[in-house]
Structure 1
Amino acid sequence: MRLSLLPLLLLAGLAAGAAQARPLKVVVLGDSLSAGYNLPPGQGLTRQLEAALRHDGFDVTVGDTAVSGQTSAGGLAGLDWMLGDAPDLVVVELGANDMLRGVDPKSTRANLDKILATLKDRHVSTILAGMKAQPNLGADYVAAFDTIYPDLAKRYAVPFYPFILDGVALDPKLTIADRMHPNGDGVAVMVRGLKPVVAKALTTLKDAAPSGK
């Protein structure tokens, strides 16, 4: 009996080892700021973030799920499809296009709220990356928009990176010709700011489930 059980035990051990070896899946639910708009292959945020995390020793993949032109409504509409790939961690980076189109901040807030609520219900670890409104939209709009992100991060108790373009916005050396989207060097600055937040979340995931998902 012991001999007949040995192959089964070996297979179980191999299966457990394979589960442990699976890279953690990170996806960025984002827009052109994350999608590498007008940049050469490999220079966008997802690729640079993946390379930086791997350099630091994380066994991780970062999916190319950001879409240029994406709004909070579009991100919400595509959320179930994105979750079909069973990500371990989702970075929500949406709202810039809402702001540029003058979408009512109440709508942006409601969409992001539903996204975060869905991720919480599905037990998917989440990071919220914030955006800031342009001053020329008026003080009322700016106040309504800029409070969306810290409010929701607090409500859902998720890690929060306050401004995805921190250190990059309006710097001609770090943006492409439109002065809005980051160039490769600008993306590197974004990654340096965002990476510690992502790394902490990945470490928490590894500590919580050491045997893998």
Structure 2
Amino acid sequence: MGAAFRGTGSLTYGAIRAARNLAVTSLIAAGPAQADGVTIAALGDSLTQGYGLPAEDGFVPQLKAWLRDQGAQVEIINAGVSGDTTAGGLSRVGWTLTPEVDAMILALGGNDLLRGIDPEVSRANLDGILQAAEAAAVPVLMIGLDAPGNYGPQYEAAFEGMYPALADAHDAALIPDFFAPLTAETPDAAARRRFMQADGIHPSADGVEVIVEGLGPRILEWLDDLAR
């Protein structure tokens, strides 16, 4: 964290991040006259990409619309790739963090979970992504997932525990579970099917709406924190 940022002479990462946060502050506060606002890259898998949905009904478009309705001047780049694992995210984070990106939402791990990949491998990949964000002085909000119990309690604990551990290690914001708003809306698993697509894995447009309404306030709070 205190190491010199590559290519910036004597400036430290902390100084660069402070300068970037000052820019984010100005953009958030700029109001309707500011055309571009804060640019967020949403690095993720099919949940981010909007698998099975019309483009306007996916997570990124609905989140952008929700945030703008709250007065936030944001642009969100959809860097979600269906089927992507944490390893895939690590392989493309470098070209995702382009100079115009001010912040990043990191939502990966679902496909690692489906494939039963060792959580230590997933954790190392996510750690690499967070290191890349630190090198670019881009603040990150991580969105985790709850693991089912079919891989055993040790796997479940390791998978779920990697998100808060990495958030703490890299000073990243954290939302523990992408699907928490759906669980809160309908605790009964059978009843939640009305918010899911036929595959039972991906949310429907209505499901995405519930998720965005649940996660949106925390994401808006994160943006406000960056502006302080």
Query: How far does residue 81 in structure 1 lie from its aligned partner after superposition?
Result: 0.7
> Does residue 106 of the first structure (1) align with residue 126 of the second (2)?
no
Say if 1:93 and 1:105 are closer, same or farther in 2 by CA, change over 3 A: same
Indicate which of 76, 84, 88 corresponds to 1:70. Answer: 84
Show the 5 A alignment for 1:35-184. 35-168=49-182, 170=189, 171-184=192-205
1:142-185 CA-to-partner distances (Å, cap 9, x unmatched) read 12211111111111121110101113364201100111110011
If the length of structure 1 is used for normalisation, what is the TM-score?
0.84
1:20-45 CA-to-partner distances (Å, cap 9, x unmatched) read 63321011111111111101120100
Query: How far does residue 206 in structure 1 lie from its aligned partner after superposition?
Result: 3.6
Give every structure 1 segment of 4 or more consecutive aligned residues whose post-TM-superposition deviation is greater than 6 Å: none
Larger radius of gyration: 1
Consecutive unaligned residues of structure 1, counting only runs of 5 or more, are 1-15, 208-213
Consecutive unaligned residues of structure 2, counting only runs of 5 or more, are 1-25, 184-188
Q: 1:201 — aligned with what?
A: 222
On the 8 A contact 2:145/2:160 being kept in 1, the answer is yes
| Count of aligned residue pairs for this structure pair | 190
On the 8 A contact 1:159/1:197 being kept in 2, the answer is no
Query: How far does residue 108 in structure 1 lie from its aligned partner after superposition?
Result: 0.1
> Aligned letter for 2:121?
S
Query: How far does residue 94 in structure 1 lie from its aligned partner after superposition?
Result: 0.2
RMSD: 1.8
For 2:222 and 2:150, locate their aligned partners in 1 and report how far apart those are by CA, in whole Å: 35
For 1:197 and 1:118, locate their aligned partners in 2 and report how far apart those are by CA, in whole Å: 23
For 2:169 and 2:54, locate their aligned partners in 1 and report how far apart those are by CA, in whole Å: 38
> Which is further off, 162-171 or 172-181?
162-171
> Does residue 23 of the first structure (1) align with residue 37 of the second (2)?
yes
> Aligned letter for 1:191?
V
> Aligned letter for 2:123?
R
Percent identity reads 38
> Which is further off, 27-36 or 47-56?
27-36
> Aligned letter for 2:109?
G
If the length of structure 2 is used for normalisation, what is the TM-score?
0.78
